[in-house]
Amino acid sequence: MVDWENRDYYLTCDDIVDKPIKVAVRNDKGVAKGGGIGGYDHWEMKVQRTTQGSLPRLGDVTAVLFYCSPQPSNFFMQELRVYRTHDGSEIGRMSTFDTPELPPQYQPKSLMIKDGRLAADVKFYGPEDSRADGPSILRHVTWTWEDGRFVTHGAGGDSEARGRVDLSRQRITVNGLGPLELGMSRDEAAKAIGVPIPGKLSRRICTDFSVEGGPEGLLLRFASDRLVAIYVVRPAMKISTL
């Protein structure tokens, strides 16, 4: 049985270097030193998440998400690779995202293998985002194994990649919340934020809905299929007003 938090890996710190170097990971952490690390003193590494499942044409696999912080620096990179579960041999890695802004950030807890795909939520930087505040555009990205490589779906602007709006970063106004405007239908509201608003209308005049994926404690109230109010209740702590 492979111990994914205690083994040697070959990594590039998300293409900081072209040739993968050996990193000994013990208790889910490791340090890379010596030549071949791109002019840095060392890399601080850790395993952020592992997930297992079955993929078409590959069988049982394990995906491992790595965190890499080159030192000295004030940034970090992430690298996602897939291995055969039974022996730990590497199958391939997810290519670096081609973005004009800063590198996007995987949301570790979202990494999973489901419905024949590897999937994760990834936050991308928008034109007005800064490194200090972090990325704000949340997208659900998936990968499939095709023609001997992993193909990325959902990282661009296609229908599968509708940008999810991080509502915890938006401010409530008298007119709504971010792209949400009072008077929208539930379908219009879901399209505006790029994420479903699940649930069934009850027989009551008003129905409160939470947003799939949060933020927890944010409630959207609909009456006759129109957004009429926005509520913030515990445990939500980070939603501001104008």
Answer yes or no: do 103 and 137 share one domain: yes
With respect to residue 234, please indicate whether it lies within any of the assigned structural domains.
yes
Q: Among candidates 146, 1, 15, 147, which has minimal Cα distance to 81?
A: 15
Domain's final residue, options 131, 161, 191: 161
Answer yes or no: do 50 and 150 share one domain: yes
What mean pLDDT do residues 6-25 have? 96
pTM: predicted TM-score of the whole model, two decimal places: 0.67
Structural domains in the chain (count): 2
CA 233 distance to own-chain centroid: 25
What mean pLDDT do residues 161-175 have? 73
Q: Among candidates 1, 97, 17, 100, which has minimal Cα distance to 50?
A: 1
Answer yes or no: do 189 and 127 share one domain: no
Paired tokens of 145? 């194994």
User: CB burial class (10 A; 0-12, 13-18, 19+) of residue 190?
Assistant: buried
pLDDT tens readout for residues 106-153? 999 999 998 899 999 999 888 778 888 888 888 889 999 998 999 998
At 191, which amino acid appears?
K
Domain's final residue, options 101, 135, 161: 161
For 125-202, where are the E strands, in sequence order? 137-146, 149-153, 164-165, 171-172, 176-177, 180-181
With respect to residue 2, please indicate whether it lies within any of the assigned structural domains.
no
At 207, which amino acid appears?
T
32 pLDDT more than 90:
yes
* Residues 92, 95: Cα–Cα separation, whole Å: 9
Of the pLDDT bands very low, low, confident and very high (cuts 50, 70, 90), residue 202 is low
pLDDT tens readout for residues 61-74? 999 999 999 999 98
Answer yes or no: do 186 and 117 share one domain: no
What is the structure's pLDDT at 203? 59
Answer yes or no: do 82 and 197 share one domain: no
What mean pLDDT do residues 225-236 have? 85
What mean pLDDT do residues 191-206 have? 75
Answer yes or no: do 109 and 200 share one domain: no
Paired tokens of 175? 């007119």
Q: Among candidates 173, 174, 215, which has minimal Cα distance to 193?
A: 215
* Residues 223, 120: Cα–Cα separation, whole Å: 34
With respect to residue 105, please indicate whether it lies within any of the assigned structural domains.
yes
Mean predicted lDDT score pLDDT of the chain = 88
Answer yes or no: do 222 and 140 share one domain: no
With respect to residue 149, please indicate whether it lies within any of the assigned structural domains.
yes
With respect to residue 168, please indicate whether it lies within any of the assigned structural domains.
no
What domain range is 121 assigned to? 7-161
103 pLDDT more than 80:
yes
Answer yes or no: do 15 and 72 share one domain: yes
Of the pLDDT bands very low, low, confident and very high (cuts 50, 70, 90), residue 33 is very high
Residues 6+ apart with CB under 8 A from 78: 14, 48, 65, 66, 67, 68, 103, 105, 106
**Residue 166: helix, strand or coil by DSSP?**
coil
Answer yes or no: do 115 and 20 share one domain: yes
Distances (CA, A) of 169 to 11, 37, 39, 195, 215: 33, 36, 36, 15, 10
Answer yes or no: do 26 and 139 share one domain: yes
At 152, which amino acid appears?
T
DSSP state of 82: E
Answer yes or no: do 195 and 76 share one domain: no
Answer yes or no: do 129 and 230 share one domain: no
With respect to residue 56, please indicate whether it lies within any of the assigned structural domains.
yes
Question: 57 — alpha (psi -120 to 50), left (phi > 0) or beta?
Answer: left
With respect to residue 142, please indicate whether it lies within any of the assigned structural domains.
yes
